Amino acid sequence: MAARDRIRRVSWLLQGICTLLAVALPPLALGFWLTFDAWAPGQPPFDRWAPLPHPMPPASLAVAGLGAAIPLGLMVFALVRLRRLFRLYARNRIFEAENSRCLRHFGQALLALGVVQPLAGGLVSVGLTLTKPEGQRVLEISVDGKDVMLALIGGLILVIAWVMEEGRRLQEDSALIV
């Protein structure tokens, strides 16, 4: 099997996985927040803010859900752009302007996710402790290795997209020279 055929097959598979994740993640997240009272209080990582009110006030869930929705939106955007890139590869469109654009958008989303995720986690902590008395409310912003790696990988992908675009331009220019 030729390399291009393997690229096409793997790209079709990865395109399907990206589609599945982009479609499934938002309703799963919504279901999580709608059923929060049934199972989440007292479970990690929510146990660090215990005791949480039961049932959780809708305003608290709305603020916490908004905090979780921001990185989720970035993830879905990244998956949609990655899906588009894999679709181009599956159609044997390898070195085109749209490829580097998809890759650039994916890198931007990962970089933004690495920066936004700690702040969004702060919004979740505020939402979940919103109804606690003064002095017991929490604003917890933490940066872990995963956030740093997401930002660094996003930056790496941005540079790769830039190099790919420059290579594509050079290829175009050399094709015009007779």
- Summarize the confidence of residues 39-64 as an average pLDDT: 84
Contact 117, 147 (CB under 8 A): yes
3-state secondary structure (DSSP) of residue 29: helix
Using alpha carbons, select from 20, 19, 21 the residue that is nearest to residue 87. Answer: 19
- What angle separates helix 3-34 from helix 58-90, to the nearest 10 degrees? 170
Helix (H) or strand (E) run with residue 57 in it: none
CA atoms within 13 A of residue 141's CA, in its CB half-sphere: 9
Q: What is the residue extent of each domain of the chain? A: 3-176
Residues whose CB is less than 8 angstroms from the CB of residue 135 and which lie 6 or more positions away in sequence, other chains included: none
Q: Which residues contact 157 (CB under 8 A, 6 or more apart)?
A: 103, 104, 106, 107, 110
What is the per-residue pLDDT across 69-101, written as a single tens digit (0 to 9) for each?
999 999 999 999 999 999 999 999 988 899 999
| pLDDT at residue 118, rounded to an integer | 95
Element (H, E) at 77: helix 58-90
- Average pLDDT over the chain reads 92
pLDDT at position 1, please?
65
